[in-house]
Amino acid sequence: MCTKKALIRQESFKVKDSLATNSVTVLGIFASFIAFLTIEVQILKTVCDYSRILGFSIFILGAVLLFVVFIIYFTDSQNKKTVQIVTMSLVAGIMVFAGVFFVARGEDEYVCKLNRLDGDFQKLQIKLQKDNETWLLEKTEEFNLLKKEGGQVSLK
Protein backbone atom coordinates (compact mmCIF):
# COMPACT_ATOMS: atom_id res chain seq x y z
CA MET A 1 0.00 0.00 0.00
CA CYS A 2 2.75 2.41 0.88
CA THR A 3 4.56 1.68 -2.29
CA LYS A 4 1.48 2.44 -4.40
CA LYS A 5 1.00 5.76 -2.64
CA ALA A 6 4.67 6.55 -3.06
CA LEU A 7 4.51 5.69 -6.76
CA ILE A 8 1.41 7.81 -7.22
CA ARG A 9 3.09 10.68 -5.38
CA GLN A 10 6.23 10.36 -7.56
CA GLU A 11 4.12 10.32 -10.72
CA SER A 12 2.24 13.44 -9.61
CA PHE A 13 5.57 15.21 -8.99
CA LYS A 14 6.75 14.20 -12.47
CA VAL A 15 3.54 15.60 -13.98
CA LYS A 16 3.98 18.82 -11.99
CA ASP A 17 7.58 19.15 -13.15
CA SER A 18 6.66 18.58 -16.78
CA LEU A 19 3.83 21.13 -16.54
CA ALA A 20 6.21 23.66 -14.99
CA THR A 21 8.81 23.15 -17.72
CA ASN A 22 6.15 23.38 -20.43
CA SER A 23 4.89 26.62 -18.88
CA VAL A 24 8.39 28.08 -18.79
CA THR A 25 8.96 27.03 -22.41
CA VAL A 26 5.71 28.58 -23.62
CA LEU A 27 6.34 31.77 -21.64
CA GLY A 28 9.88 32.04 -23.01
CA ILE A 29 8.71 31.53 -26.60
CA PHE A 30 5.93 34.09 -26.17
CA ALA A 31 8.28 36.66 -24.64
CA SER A 32 10.87 36.16 -27.37
CA PHE A 33 8.33 36.66 -30.16
CA ILE A 34 6.96 39.80 -28.51
CA ALA A 35 10.53 41.11 -28.24
CA PHE A 36 11.09 40.21 -31.91
CA LEU A 37 8.03 42.15 -33.03
CA THR A 38 8.89 45.17 -30.89
CA ILE A 39 12.46 45.34 -32.15
CA GLU A 40 11.31 44.74 -35.73
CA VAL A 41 8.92 47.69 -35.66
CA GLN A 42 11.65 49.97 -34.30
CA ILE A 43 14.10 48.86 -36.99
CA LEU A 44 11.61 49.27 -39.82
CA LYS A 45 11.03 52.88 -38.74
CA THR A 46 14.69 53.85 -38.85
CA VAL A 47 16.52 51.72 -41.42
CA CYS A 48 16.59 53.07 -44.96
CA ASP A 49 18.12 50.31 -47.10
CA TYR A 50 15.98 47.23 -47.87
CA SER A 51 18.97 44.89 -47.68
CA ARG A 52 19.69 46.07 -44.15
CA ILE A 53 16.04 45.71 -43.15
CA LEU A 54 16.08 42.13 -44.43
CA GLY A 55 19.38 41.47 -42.67
CA PHE A 56 18.19 42.85 -39.33
CA SER A 57 14.96 40.87 -39.60
CA ILE A 58 16.72 37.60 -40.38
CA PHE A 59 19.32 38.22 -37.66
CA ILE A 60 16.73 38.94 -34.97
CA LEU A 61 14.56 35.99 -36.04
CA GLY A 62 17.62 33.71 -35.90
CA ALA A 63 18.51 35.04 -32.46
CA VAL A 64 14.96 34.42 -31.24
CA LEU A 65 15.05 30.88 -32.66
CA LEU A 66 18.39 30.28 -30.95
CA PHE A 67 16.88 31.54 -27.69
CA VAL A 68 13.94 29.14 -28.10
CA VAL A 69 16.35 26.26 -28.75
CA PHE A 70 18.23 27.05 -25.54
CA ILE A 71 14.98 27.21 -23.59
CA ILE A 72 13.89 23.85 -24.97
CA TYR A 73 17.32 22.33 -24.30
CA PHE A 74 17.55 23.49 -20.69
CA THR A 75 13.93 22.93 -19.68
CA ASP A 76 13.10 19.69 -21.48
CA SER A 77 15.34 17.48 -19.36
CA GLN A 78 13.27 14.30 -19.77
CA ASN A 79 12.91 14.19 -23.54
CA LYS A 80 16.25 15.24 -24.97
CA LYS A 81 15.86 15.10 -28.72
CA THR A 82 19.38 16.04 -29.71
CA VAL A 83 18.85 15.66 -33.45
CA GLN A 84 16.04 18.24 -33.51
CA ILE A 85 17.90 20.57 -31.15
CA VAL A 86 21.08 20.41 -33.24
CA THR A 87 19.08 20.93 -36.45
CA MET A 88 17.25 23.92 -35.02
CA SER A 89 20.55 25.32 -33.71
CA LEU A 90 22.13 25.00 -37.16
CA VAL A 91 19.15 26.72 -38.81
CA ALA A 92 19.30 29.52 -36.23
CA GLY A 93 23.05 29.90 -36.72
CA ILE A 94 22.65 30.08 -40.50
CA MET A 95 19.93 32.70 -40.07
CA VAL A 96 22.17 34.78 -37.80
CA PHE A 97 25.06 34.63 -40.28
CA ALA A 98 22.73 35.41 -43.21
CA GLY A 99 21.44 38.42 -41.31
CA VAL A 100 24.98 39.66 -40.70
CA PHE A 101 25.74 39.15 -44.41
CA PHE A 102 22.74 41.20 -45.55
CA VAL A 103 23.50 43.97 -43.06
CA ALA A 104 27.12 44.14 -44.24
CA ARG A 105 26.00 44.08 -47.89
CA GLY A 106 23.56 46.94 -47.44
CA GLU A 107 24.13 50.54 -48.41
CA ASP A 108 25.48 53.03 -45.89
CA GLU A 109 22.65 54.65 -43.93
CA TYR A 110 23.95 58.17 -44.44
CA VAL A 111 24.16 57.74 -48.22
CA CYS A 112 20.77 56.03 -48.36
CA LYS A 113 19.02 58.77 -46.37
CA LEU A 114 20.83 61.44 -48.38
CA ASN A 115 19.60 59.84 -51.62
CA ARG A 116 16.08 59.66 -50.23
CA LEU A 117 16.17 63.33 -49.21
CA ASP A 118 17.64 64.26 -52.59
CA GLY A 119 14.80 62.42 -54.33
CA ASP A 120 12.22 64.17 -52.14
CA PHE A 121 13.87 67.52 -52.86
CA GLN A 122 13.76 66.88 -56.61
CA LYS A 123 10.06 65.93 -56.41
CA LEU A 124 9.30 69.14 -54.50
CA GLN A 125 11.35 71.16 -56.96
CA ILE A 126 9.44 69.70 -59.93
CA LYS A 127 6.10 70.37 -58.20
CA LEU A 128 7.13 73.96 -57.47
CA GLN A 129 8.24 74.46 -61.07
CA LYS A 130 4.88 73.14 -62.36
CA ASP A 131 2.99 75.40 -59.95
CA ASN A 132 5.04 78.41 -61.08
CA GLU A 133 4.46 77.60 -64.75
CA THR A 134 0.72 77.27 -64.13
CA TRP A 135 0.65 80.60 -62.26
CA LEU A 136 2.68 82.27 -65.03
CA LEU A 137 0.30 80.96 -67.72
CA GLU A 138 -2.73 82.18 -65.76
CA LYS A 139 -1.25 85.65 -65.29
CA THR A 140 -0.22 85.81 -68.95
CA GLU A 141 -3.78 84.99 -70.00
CA GLU A 142 -5.15 87.61 -67.59
CA PHE A 143 -2.68 90.16 -68.92
CA ASN A 144 -3.63 89.45 -72.53
CA LEU A 145 -7.35 89.71 -71.74
CA LEU A 146 -6.90 92.98 -69.88
CA LYS A 147 -4.67 94.33 -72.63
CA LYS A 148 -7.38 93.59 -75.22
CA GLU A 149 -10.03 95.25 -73.05
CA GLY A 150 -7.80 98.22 -72.26
CA GLY A 151 -8.09 97.87 -68.47
CA GLN A 152 -5.52 98.15 -65.74
CA VAL A 153 -3.10 95.27 -65.20
CA SER A 154 -2.33 93.84 -61.73
CA LEU A 155 0.38 91.22 -61.25
CA LYS A 156 -0.64 90.07 -57.77
What are the phi and psi torsion angles at 108 (to 5°)?
-60, 140
CA 34 to the chain's CA centroid:
12
Q: What angle do CA 122, 128, 130 make, to 5 degrees?
A: 105
Q: What residues contact 109, with CB distance under 8 A and at least 6 apart?
A: 47, 48, 49, 52
pLDDT tens per residue across span 83-134:
777 888 899 999 999 988 988 887 776 677 777 777 777 788 888 888 888 9
Q: Which letter does DSSP use for residue 150 in this model?
A: T
Q: CA end-to-end span of the chain, whole Å?
A: 107
Distance from C-alpha of 17 to C-alpha of 14, rounded to nearest angstrom: 5
The pLDDT score that the predictor gives to residue 153 is: 55
Q: What is the pTM of this model?
A: 0.52
What is the biggest distance separating any 2 CA atoms in the chain, rounded to whole angstroms?
A: 122
